[in-house]
Amino acid sequence: MIEILDIKDTRAVRNKNMILDHYDLMINNKKTEEGTRNFHPAYIQHNPLMADGRVALAQFFGEIARGRARGRIVVHKIIAAGDYVWTHVNFLNFFSDDPEDTGVAGVDIFKMDADGKAIEHWDVLQFVGDPKNSAPMLGPNIPRANSNGMFEERT
Amino acid sequence: MIEITDVKDSRAVRNKNNVLALYDLMINTKKSEEGTAKFVSPAYIQHNPLIADGSVALGKFFAQVTRERARARVIVHRIIAVGDYVWAHVNFLNLFNDDPDDTGIAGVDIYKMDADGNAIEHWDTLQIVGDPKNSAPMIAPNIPRANPNGMF
C-alpha cells in the first residue's frame, strides 16, 4: 500500500488511519457495527445502491459479510489532505466465492468532520475482469491494450 | 470544483494545475495531442485497460473521441493533490454519444507526476452514471437510486 500524505498534517494522518481501521474492521474482520463507529449518523451517501446514514452502511456490509466468507478489501493507495481521504482499492469476493475472483476496482472518497467522523462519501466502481476480458462493463472479451494491470505501480 | 491541496505544497499546486490544463486541452478544447505533448511524459504508463502506454496513444485516443463527438467534455468536481500525486473526481460527458441529456461516465483519475510536472503513470476507475431510476446500469437495468444525492 502506498500512503500519500504530509505527515505534519495531523488531521489527515488521523483521518487516514481511521479509514484504514474502518475497512479492516467492517470488511476484512466482518465487524460491521464496530467498523462504522467512526461514521456520522447523518453520513451522506452518494453510492447509488446504499441509503444515507451509518446504519444503512453497516447493514449493507453486514449482509455481504454473512453471505460471502471470502469477502475482503485490498487497499492499494491512499491519499489524505485536510478533511478528505481518497482510496484506490480492490473489493474481492463480494459477488462470488470464486478464489480466482478479480473483483471490483474502486475509488472511495470520504469527507471527514472536525472530530474525524466520516460525514460524506462518493465512489466510482468498475469490474476488473482479466487481460482477455478487460472491460466487462463495456463489452465482453475486450483484451487489455497494455500489460500493466489495474493497480500495480511501475514507476 | 473543490480543490484539496496545501497551498504551501508548491509541487502539488503545480501538478494540480497541470492536470486541470491537460483536461481542458485534451478534452474540452479538443487540442488532444497538444495537451498530451505538453503535460504527459512519452514514457507514460497506462493502467486503463483500453489505452496503450505512452503520451502518443493517449493523445490519439482523445483526438479521435473529440473529432467524433462535438459535445465531448469533462467536468472536474473535486481534485486532491499531495506530493507527486493528483487524483480527480470527474464526469465525462458525450464521449460516446451525442445525446444532450447524457449523464455520462463518473471517473476517478489518479496521476503520478514526475519532477518536471509531467504525468508518468495513470490509473482510473470508471462507472456509467445512469439516472435515478436506472442508477447502476453496469450491474443491472432499472435499479432505482437508494438516496437522492447524485453521484458527484
Query: Which pLDDT score is estimated for A138?
Result: 85
- The shortest C-alpha distance from A98 to chain B (Å) reads 18
Task: Judge whether residue B139 has pLDDT over 90.
Answer: no
Residue B44 lies in a domain: yes
Domain that holds residue B118: 2-128
Residue B137 lies in a domain: no
Domains, chain A, ordered by start: 2-127 (3.10.450.50)
Residue B138 lies in a domain: no
A81, B80: Cβ pair inside 8 Å?
yes
Residue B57 lies in a domain: yes
CB of A112 less than 8 A from some CB of B? no
Q: What is the pLDDT of residues A37-85, one digit of tens each?
A: 999 999 999 999 999 999 999 999 999 999 999 999 999 999 999 999 9
pTM of the model: 0.97
**DSSP H or E stretch at residue A134:** none
Q: What is the pLDDT of residues B8-31, one digit of tens each?
A: 999 999 999 999 999 999 999 999
Residue B148 lies in a domain: no
Residue B121 lies in a domain: yes
Listed in sequence order, the DSSP H helices in chain B are 10-23, 32-39, 55-68
Residue A16 per-residue DSSP state: H
Residue B24 lies in a domain: yes
Question: What average pLDDT does the structure give for chain A?
Answer: 96
Task: Judge whether residue A137 has pLDDT over 90.
Answer: no
Most B CBs within 10 A among A1, A2, A4, hence the mutation to make, goes to A4
The total domain count for chain B is 1
Q: Quote the ipTM score.
A: 0.96
CB of A49 less than 8 A from some CB of B? yes
What whole-number percentage of chain A has pLDDT above 70? 100
Would you state the torsion angle of the CA atoms of residues A70, A40, A127, B65, taken in this order, to the nearest 10 degrees? -170
CATH number at residue B39: 3.10.450.50
Q: What is the pLDDT of residues B57-86, one digit of tens each?
A: 999 999 999 999 999 999 999 999 999 999
B125, A124: Cβ pair inside 8 Å?
yes
A155, B145: Cβ pair inside 8 Å?
no
